[in-house]
Structure 1
């Protein structure tokens, strides 16, 4: 059995299935509602039920007071719809409203995607969730108090198992450790969410550009957009040295193959003569400029190393891009 949930004043309607809470249904379909513990204690998800009924199969949440129940309030992290319901709840659309917190976590997965890139999955405790927006990043806090920043590659509904893409740098304080000594079940400490590299409200088509592991936040943005069922045109350019550096190429190809509004253009800067590569070559920003003599109608999202971002900032306005429509995140390498 499924029911409709309408968010009053938000012009949002989504469907919840009988096995899931209202919050789980909202997050699954790309609607970011405020929440914290997801265990019925903190009250961050408290919202008013304007019409319809909700039930608590696992018992009334510990943090929900009797007076709140009388006034029609519910904890969406525990409440399940018992019919079609209308709820007064606000969505989270800007990074400024999210609280930055520190969490312990455990390494759940270490997987080398190629010789230089590792997929790292960090599992939060069962009682904790990291609420974040697509495109944001976290800090890994090291034992000496130093921190290293990594973009979240997972979409916001995956708030307990956080995916990071770690590039190996010689002399990199964390990356050297990650590639040589880090093992599953290792305990780490993180801080987040951080950053303003998030999707902006607009009807304009988007050009998304990634350099290397700049793919990570782009992946989060595109997967979030798909969950929201957005149909804005996305042209995704991924710049890499060789085909082996397109470390999750099959994911990007799937986006393009299964969604008419997404086009994927890998761009290689180093092509071996023995390689049968027939795609785009050169620097990724040059590939975009070659394809788009007029950028005035686009929103640009770019993430990668400083030289790539600097080249985009300098050259794209010459092709008509409004600087206010350029959203970027520059990956700075930090040595020991």
Structure 2
């Protein structure tokens, strides 16, 4: 996969530990919604981060990087971007990209795994395809769901899109769903036979989704996530 050198256009905090990175490539890039960038940190050190913008929005690359204390994998990437103002990477990586086959779609995201589902969501809504799409986004706290307002606005604009935020540790003023995000999906659906499911988050969650959802009829060929290349 050929690499390109991108300028770091901006680094914006989304939460105390999550940053939105805007990169400007030398020319429009070609990738599919749901693919990831491989950041070049050394000859044998390529680090994957989901591309958050849709494939039609090809003149930039948006990443959401969670760099909590102790996370050197992400923290070192963020530091290099800040210090050097540019970064080398490749795009068009991964096989868990958007498949438009007419089946209703369920997107499941934990934490910054949201960036994977956000690319797919934006691409689908932009396409004009009216196939129903539902995004379940889970975080430890309500503040971790950093684009909730934008997602609620999208849901109000598009009849075929439903947004379900899920908070693990809810404050008293939280009015939405609580607990683990994949449990919310299971509570809403008893049969996944005629659905597509896209999942991004911890490997443990992806493994559990595969086990629990296939029992309820989900076909393995309709389950997508980069984690499944490793588990």
Q: TM-score, normalised by structure 1?
A: 0.64
Gaps of 5+ in 2: none
Indicate the structure with greater helix content. 2
Q: 2:12 aligns with which of 111, 114, 117?
A: 111
Preserved CA contact (<8 Å) 1:289 1:319: no
The structural deviation recorded for 1:124 is 1.1
Distance 2:28 2:103 in 1: 33
Which segments of structure 1 move beyond 6 Å, counting only runs of 4 or more? none
Distance 2:193 2:129 in 1: 21
**In structure 2, what is the equivalent of residue 94 of structure 1?**
none
Change (3 A) 1:215 1:328: same
Q: 2:35 aligns with which of 133, 136, 144?
A: 136
Distance 2:53 2:78 in 1: 21
RMSD (CA atoms): 2.0
Preserved CA contact (<8 Å) 1:212 1:304: yes
**In structure 2, what is the equivalent of residue 319 of structure 1?**
216
**In structure 2, what is the equivalent of residue 40 of structure 1?**
none
1:149 aligned onto 2:48: yes
Of the structure 1 ranges 236-245 and 144-153, higher mean CA displacement relative to structure 2 is found in: 144-153
Q: TM-score, normalised by structure 2?
A: 0.92
Gaps of 5+ in 1: 1-99
The structural deviation recorded for 1:105 is 1.0
Kindly indicate whether structure 1 or structure 2 has the higher relative contact order, using CA contacts under 8 Å at least 6 residues apart: 2
Preserved CA contact (<8 Å) 2:6 2:87: yes
Change (3 A) 1:292 1:170: same
Preserved CA contact (<8 Å) 1:139 1:147: yes
Deviation readout 1:270-319 (Å, 9 max, x if unpaired): 113xx311211111111111111122221111111111101101111122
Distance 1:104 1:161 in 2: 12
Preserved CA contact (<8 Å) 1:209 1:303: yes
Change (3 A) 1:224 1:184: farther
Deviation readout 1:134-167 (Å, 9 max, x if unpaired): 1100111014641211110011122231000001
The structural deviation recorded for 1:173 is 3.4
1:260 aligned onto 2:159: yes
Matches within 5 A, 1:85-100: 100=1
Distance 1:318 1:211 in 2: 21
